[in-house]
Structures are given as structure tokens and as C-alpha cells.
Copies of this chain bind each other. A is one copy, B any other.
Amino acid sequence: MSTTIAPLAESLPLFIEQQHPSAIAVLVDNHTARHCYPLVKSLLPKHMLIRIPAGETHKHLGTCETIWAALTKANVDRHGLVLNLGGGVIGDMGGFCAATYKRGIAFAQLPTTLLSQVDASVGGKLGIDFQGLKNHIGVFQLPDAVLIDPAFLQTLPPRELRSGFAEVIKHCLIADANEWDRLRHYDLDDIDWATTVAHSVTIKEQVVAQDPTEKGLRKILNFGHTLGHAVETHFLHRPKGRLLHGEAIAAGMIMEAYIAFRKGMITDLHLEATEEYLFAVYGRVPLTERDFDPILAHTLQDKKNRAGQVRMALIDGPGRCAYDIPVSKSAMREALEYYVGN
């Protein structure tokens, strides 16, 4: 795999020339069809467009069937190429469909959101939601290329940008104490995105290279995600109050930083600095006592558990992270109470 951070006008034609595919399919959703595809269309030779509805609620098997059927109808063969133009949903689902179509054809991620540029597009986690469980069905498979064009970030609503920023913060918290000290004095408006994206991608790539299928070290990338995913899943099931991934992860990072503090892994000062910055950027997710039990139930489906016991990645001092730490249900409940009451 190669990750390139450059204007697509440079990187995409070069990649296509190297790949020499027998057919090209571009996967888009309603948003990227309108805002991103026009910037890509003229850079490509003859290709087909597969368009799906936008949003996490469509990240399921039914949409995969639509994608597989479109590839089949166009007689795309094993030497075909799928270009996933969009955010994490497009990348995860389009990658999964490509990795399983005829037992796997080439695909490239063209991430258009900050979240997918610094996280989803890098590292080869592919998949879909199943029975309301996030990324429950999927595979590990590195894309043939990740082509990141920071220009796409200008097309994003501010709330989407802020959501992706949570993974940037996470990368600093788990792996770069200096960058964390620098970052936490910045407003979102002050960020130089090209540099920040490059830094974040480098951290993630270094971790993934050492442990592609998450047997060990890679689990540190899940800091904030055990409770964060559970909060996110909980909100998926609620009719109102849409919560973006990064907003849920920001909440999860505060909760899990608290657990790390209670286990003596970080100081009270580090906990305070972390939660202060995250609350300042993201505010507080509106949770009440009644939400705790369903959220705790969702943690039981976390992919990092073993034999029914929740195991977390927890920051272990500034810029460091440990993993596979068993965490009891009562400790998680206490963290939820801390988050709500603090």
C-alpha cells in the first residue's frame, strides 16, 4: 500500500497508469456525487459510477448487494479497480465490497472527510454494520492506494471537520506528547490541515505496520473507542439526536482517560488537561442515568473483548498507551457518571 498526500490531479492519473485496470468503478454517495466527483471525473479514463445513499444507516449488507450487483452487471473482472470517493462509510463498505467481489479486486481509498483521511482510509479495516453493531462484519485488507487530497476538507461542514479532529487528538494522546502539548493550545480554526493530516497519518501507519491485524499494539488506536463506540451505537438506535463518530469518541476519550486516572496510569493534571480541551472543542453529549445500561450492554460486543470481559486501550502517561487492560462494568459505570456529572 502507498499513502499519498497530494492534489488528486497529480496522484490519481499516476496511480491509474501504474494499476492499468481492466475497468474502473467509482463509488460515491449523494454528497460526494455532488461535491467531490466533479473534481475527479475529468482525471479518469472511461469508468462507471456507483451511487449509494449517504450515511451510516446505509452501511449494511443490503447496500453491499447493490454494489456487488452493479459490478456484476458491468462484468467487472478480477483486474477491475474500485475507487472509494467519500468518507468512512464509503471507504469501509466500498473496500469490503471490493475485497470480497470475486474474492478480491483492487481498490483505492480517496477519502474526502477529515475523519477518513486521518483514520478510516489508513490501515485496511473494512466492513459494515450488522444488527446495529458497528463494523461487525468485515475483513482486514490494505487498499492498493490511499490518495489523500487535503483540498476536499474545504468542502466539509464545520461539524464534520470537528468530528474528524477527534482522531487527530487521539493520535497525539496515544503516541506524541509534544504534539499534544502544542495542539491543545490551538483552536480548530488555527489548524494547518495539510501538516496535521500528514502527522496523523504517519502515526497511524507506523502503528498499523507493526501489527496489521490487531493482535497487539494496534489496539492502542482504540483509545476512547470502547465507550465511544458504545455511545455512538446507542445514539444510532435513538430516533433523534444524531451524533457524529468523533463526537462520540471525544466523549469516550474523556471517560477512558478517567478510567486510566483511576487505575493510576495518568496524573490528575493530565486528566484535567485532556477533558478540558475535549469539552471545550466538543461540549458534552447529553446523557442521563437511563442511558448507562444500554451503553454498557453495547460494550459487550466490542471486538477487543475476550471471553465476555471488556478490555480497553488506556493512555499510560502523556503520548503513551497500553492495551488489553481489563475494565470492570462498575469502573465503566463510574466513568459514565464522571462524564455526566463533571
Residues of chain A touching chain B, judged by Cβ–Cβ distance below 8 Å, are: 22-23, 61, 65, 68-69, 72, 75, 77-79, 99-104, 125-127, 130-131, 133, 135-140, 213-214, 300-301, 303-308
Could you name 22 residue pairs across A and B whose Cβ atoms are closer than 8 Å? Answer: A23-B307, A61-B65, A68-B136, A68-B137, A72-B130, A72-B131, A72-B301, A75-B301, A75-B308, A77-B308, A79-B307, A100-B127, A100-B139, A102-B136, A102-B303, A103-B125, A103-B126, A103-B135, A103-B139, A103-B213, A104-B213, A139-B139
In the bound complex, what is the Cα–Cα distance between A61 and B72 (angstroms)? 16
Q: Separation in Å of the A218 CB from the closest CB of chain B?
A: 11
Q: How far is the CB of A219 from chain B (nearest CB, A)?
A: 11
Contacts of A78 in B (CB 8 A): 303-306
**Would A77 and B306 count as touching, CB distance under 8 A?**
yes
Check if A79 sits within 8 Å of B306, measured CB to CB: yes
Contact between A136 and B72 (Cβ–Cβ < 8 Å)? Answer: yes
Q: A304 — which chain B residues lie within 8 A by C-beta?
A: 78
Q: Knowing A72-B136, A133-B72, A139-B139, say if A303 contacts B103 (CB, 8 Å).
A: yes
Whose C-beta in chain B lies nearest to the C-beta of A307? B22
Flag if A131 contacts B69 (CB, 8 Å): yes
- The answer to whether A137 and B101 have CB atoms under 8 Å apart is yes
Q: How far is the CA of A225 from the CA of B78 in the complex (A)?
A: 17
User: Smallest CB–CB gap between A215 and chain B, Å?
Assistant: 10
| Nearest neighbor of A102 in chain B, beta-carbon distance | B303
Q: How far is the CA of A326 from the CA of B232 in the complex (A)?
A: 51
Question: In whole Å, how far is A283's beta carbon from the nearest beta carbon of chain B?
Answer: 32
Complex Cα–Cα for A137 and B103 (A): 6
Name the distance in Å between A238's Cβ and chain B's nearest Cβ.
21
Cβ of A192 to closest chain B Cβ, rounded Å: 34
A103 touches B140 (CB 8 A): yes
Nearest neighbor of A80 in chain B, beta-carbon distance = B307
Alpha-carbon distance between A125 and B100 when the two chains are bound, in angstroms: 11
* Contact indicator A138/B306 (Cβ below 8 Å): no
Residue of B nearest to A213 (CB): B104
**Contact: A306 with B22, CB < 8 Å?**
yes
Interface centre among A103, A301, A308 (most CB of B within 10 A): A103
Closest 10 CB pairs of A and B: A22-B307, A102-B303, A103-B138, A77-B305, A100-B137, A79-B306, A103-B140, A78-B303, A103-B139, A100-B139
Q: From residue A201, how far is it (CB to closest CB) to chain B in Å?
A: 21
Q: Which residue of B lies closest to A79 (CB)?
A: B306
Having A77-B306, A103-B126, A103-B135, one finds 10 other A-B pairs with CB under 8 Å, namely: A68-B137, A72-B133, A99-B139, A100-B138, A102-B138, A102-B303, A103-B127, A103-B138, A103-B139, A104-B140
Chain B residues closer than 8 Å to A306, beta-carbon distance: 22, 77-79
Query: Considering the chains assembled together, what is the distance between the CA atoms of A78 and B137 in angstroms?
Result: 12
Q: How far is the CA of A303 from the CA of B75 in the complex (A)?
A: 10
Q: Are A139 and B22 in contact (CB under 8 A)?
A: no
CA of A313 to CA of B160, assembled, Å = 51
Name the residue among A72, A75, A102 with the largest chain B CB count within 10 angstroms.
A102
Determine the distance from Cα of A79 to Cα of B131 in the docked complex, in whole angstroms: 21
Are A75 and B130 within 8 A (Cβ)? no
CB distance from A284 to the nearest CB of B (A): 31
**Distance between Cα atoms of A214 and B65 in the complex (Å):** 25
